């Protein structure tokens, strides 16, 4: 027992050293965590009858006075808070695009505010139809399997690797930071399976295995909800949906 407790303590200590957090509270519904000089997690909070109040993760990547945003907050009010913080903090940086992980409102609920500013949006080719059916904003640009976007002198790679949390869920890879935005197909440690209304639970583990095989050098993985981490999040998700 003592050995197990020591291992747990060392694991938590190592995690805190590897993933230091510099958090800024923008409002009661929005927080920003600085991952590096170029990467920031935006965390917005929403209410759901089934799950109560919970956090939703997105990402911002800035380089060479250009930025990409990964997912919007779940509504226009919090999205405007995010945009106001961004332009106040980085007045000389242009948001080049917003990447939508999947069709749920915790990914694209505030998309119309980006469109009003002429900011391009990107998603899986499956997302517009699914979002349209439930009267949510529709991404403008789509791809089938892979999309590469240039941000300054760096690049972002978006991949569709199969169904999991939804039919259209994608992942986004920032090679220069070795950060993977996994979204809701990746679960935080010790979390439940979550919302399965649009999920393919029989394929979920297989899709995550493909993600793990493709992005072997990943250092930081950001799930759709909960704390970020490393490849242990992929292993946990695989196990969670293999034990059906």
* 115 counts as catalytic: no
120 labelled catalytic: no
| Residue length of the chain | 244
Q: Where are the alpha helices (DSSP H) in the chain?
A: 2-18, 76-89, 105-108, 111-116, 127-133, 201-214, 232-242
Active-site annotation holder among 141, 195, 200, 206: 195
Residue 42 is a catalytic residue: no
Spacing of C-alpha 209 from chain mean position: 18
Q: Any catalytic annotation for residue 102?
A: yes
Q: How far is the CA of 12 from the CAs of 20, 22, 55, 189, 224, in angstroms?
A: 12, 17, 21, 12, 21
Q: Which of 42, 96, 165, 212 is catalytic?
A: 165
CA dist 88 and 90 (Å) reads 6
Say whether 48 is catalytic: no
Does 2 participate in catalysis according to the annotation? Answer: no
In the block, tokens 């089934």 appear at: 50
Element (H, E) at 66: strand 66-70
Which of 42, 96, 104, 167 is the catalytic position?
A: 104
Q: How far apart are CA 90 and CA 110, in angstroms?
A: 20
Comparing CA positions, the residue from 31, 45, 12, 33 lying closest to residue 82 is 31
Is 187 a residue of the active site? Answer: yes
Distances (CA, A) of 93 to 44, 150, 225: 22, 15, 27
Catalytic entry in 29, 71, 96, 106? 106
- Active-site residue flag, 4: no
Non-local CB neighbours of 127 within 8 Å, separated by 6+ positions: 100, 102, 103, 108, 138, 139, 142, 168
Q: Which of 42, 102, 167, 212 is flagged as catalytic?
A: 102
- Which position among 96, 167, 187, 212 bears the catalytic label? 187
> Which of the residues 56, 107, 158, 184 is marked catalytic?
184
Positions marked catalytic? 102, 104, 106, 165, 184, 187, 195, 225
């Amino acid at each position: 027992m003592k050995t197990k407790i020591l291992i747990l303590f060392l694991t938590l200590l190592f995690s805190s050293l590897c993933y230091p957090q510099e958090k800024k509270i923008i409002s009661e519904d929005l927080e920003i965590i600085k991952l590096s000089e170029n990467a920031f997690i935006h965390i917005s909070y929403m209410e759901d009858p089934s799950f109560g109040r919970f956090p939703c993760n997105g990402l911002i990547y800035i380089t060479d006075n250009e930025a990409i945003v990964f997912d919007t907050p779940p509504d226009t009010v919090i999205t405007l808070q995010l945009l106001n913080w961004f332009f106040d903090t980085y007045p000389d940086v242009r948001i080049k695009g917003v990447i939508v992980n999947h069709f749920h409102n915790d990914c694209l609920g505030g998309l119309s505010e980006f469109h009003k500013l002429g900011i391009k949006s990107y998603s899986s080719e499956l997302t517009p139809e699914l979002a349209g059916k439930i009267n949510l904003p529709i991404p403008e640009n789509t791809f089938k399997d892979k999309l590469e976007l240039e941000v300054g002198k760096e690049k972002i790679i978006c991949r569709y690797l199969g169904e999991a949390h939804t039919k259209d869920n994608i992942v986004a890879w920032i090679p220069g930071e070795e950060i993977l935005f996994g979204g809701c197909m990746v679960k935080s440690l010790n979390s439940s399976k979550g919302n399965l209304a649009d999920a393919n639970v029989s394929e979920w583990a297989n899709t995550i295995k493909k993600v793990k095989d493709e992005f072997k050098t990943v250092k930081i993985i950001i799930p759709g909800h909960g704390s970020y981490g490393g490849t242990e999040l992929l292993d946990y998700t695989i196990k969670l949906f293999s034990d059906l």
